[in-house]
Amino acid sequence: MKFHAIVLPSGKNTSPNIPKQVFQVAATLLLLTVIPLLLNRTSHSPLPFSKINIHNLSIEFDKTCDIFSGKWVPFPKGLYYTNTTCNLIIDQQNCMKFGRPDTEFLKWRWKPEECELPLFDGFQFLELVRGKSLAFVGDSVGRNQMQSLLCLLASVVYPEDISYRYTSDTNFKRWFYADYSFTLATLWSPFLVKASDADPSGHSYNSIMNLYLDKVDEAWALEISKFDYVIISAGQWFFRPLMLYEKGQLVGCHKCQQKNITDLTHSYGYRKAFRTAFRTLLSLRDYKGVTFLRTFSPAHFENGEWNKGGSCARTRPFTMEELKVDQYILDMYSTQVEEQRAAAEEGRKRGLQFRLLNVTGAMLLRPDGHPNHYGHSRHRNLNMADCVHWCLPGPIDTWNEFLLYMLKGEGQMAPGRKLQ
């Protein structure tokens, strides 16, 4: 594997460590149920990590290795790519282009407790997906992972952008690797279910929206049967004000601050949205793909909320003593896992696989990996820090190391279908 050199500062940092411990599903779900009862739900203060075993966020079982339980270790050997060797990085995540002065965050690599996580091999990845297709379904963090994958594969070959054949909407992208007959796509759907603007003033960062929890977003659902692999995710959009509908009736809202409307938690809509998405996949007669649920990607705003001066200026991973976990992260994570497990159980009856791409535990430790003020977007106020997305290159590249490991472990792959 060829690495691109970068000047890295020396240092004797202790690596953040995740304790090694294996739990059965029942014990894990019990823990995720008990923890919220021990917390004051009316408080927004973070929960000290010492009260939580972060390994409980790793429940994807592998007979040979649990790749999601581990620690970040120093790795000064170089990078898979840089912003000069990959021209597919968008400005929103191009931290080095816009002057991020530190490179400490680039010298860490995830090390599972029980084995070695192989380095990403672009040739190997493309051979595994030869003649197949892969779609990222979700919001801009899912697209962030796709852009990481594009750069990781760029050392082998650049794809052809064939998006124009399908739509003029830039939120929907398709790339074709002709030498491998492989199609890579991102299908924009931040809620996974049908949504519409509800604010008379129009759409903005925090405007209220209507969410139809039992109606899937057809923007992705009508296309998904064509894909062999689907990576589905959602997250931050569920924290905005929402009017929630089921069976055509308003059942409540989240942060709408309107009288005579039941105020529901963010996890209510989150659960129903994933349930609808998974049930849709299970109901599609022609869908034969392998579904990966990419778990919740935590934000790391400090010294204020996202719209009140919060930022993420750290330059190295958290130590275990520094880490604090907010209750909402546990809520989002446990909600996803419970719905994924239910889908997996139902999927076995149809011969469908629903797997967990579990990034939450590892990424909780990486407050240093976000653009902060070093990513630019034409739709973003430059005075607001971005502590949601991830710099490229950066720790998000680990997600695709996980993905490659899981693809190699697939006993049977879905039949290939060419998309051009």
Of 55, 300, 373, 389, catalytic: 389
What residues are paired with 17 via a beta bridge?
Answer: 71
* CA angle in degrees (0–180, nearest 5) for 215-146-177: 110
Peptide bond into 317 cis (omega under 30): no
Token pair for 121: 């091999």
First to last CA, the chain: 30
Contact 178, 191 (CB under 8 A): no
* Residue 44 falls in the annotated catalytic set: no
Give the type of residue at 130.
R
Of 58, 133, 140, 267, catalytic: 140
Contact 221, 171 (CB under 8 A): no
Hey, which bits of 14-120 come out as E strands?
47-48, 70-74, 108-112
* Alpha helices, DSSP H, located in 154-290: 218-221, 266-283
Contact 364, 54 (CB under 8 A): yes
Q: How far is CA 179 from the centre of its chain?
A: 28
Total H helices, total E strands in the chain: 8, 15
Contact 224, 192 (CB under 8 A): no
**Measured between alpha carbons, how far is residue 143 from residues 146, 147, 389 in Å?**
5, 6, 10
Of 139, 228, 368, 386, catalytic: 386
Give the type of residue at 24.
Q
DSSP collapsed to 3 states, 300-326 = CCECCCCCCCCECCCCCCCCCCCCEEC
* Residue 389 falls in the annotated catalytic set: yes
With CA atoms as reference, report the closest residue to 324 among 55, 43, 47.
47
- The whole-angstrom separation of Cα 65 and Cα 61 is 8
Which residues are within 8 A (CB) of 46 and not within 5 positions of it... i.e. 6 or more apart? 324, 325, 326
Which residues are within 8 A (CB) of 351 and not within 5 positions of it... i.e. 6 or more apart? none
What residues are paired with 249 via a beta bridge?
Answer: 246
* Residue 368 falls in the annotated catalytic set: no
**Measured between alpha carbons, how far is residue 50 from residues 31, 46, 398 in Å?**
15, 12, 25
Catalytic residues: 140, 386, 389
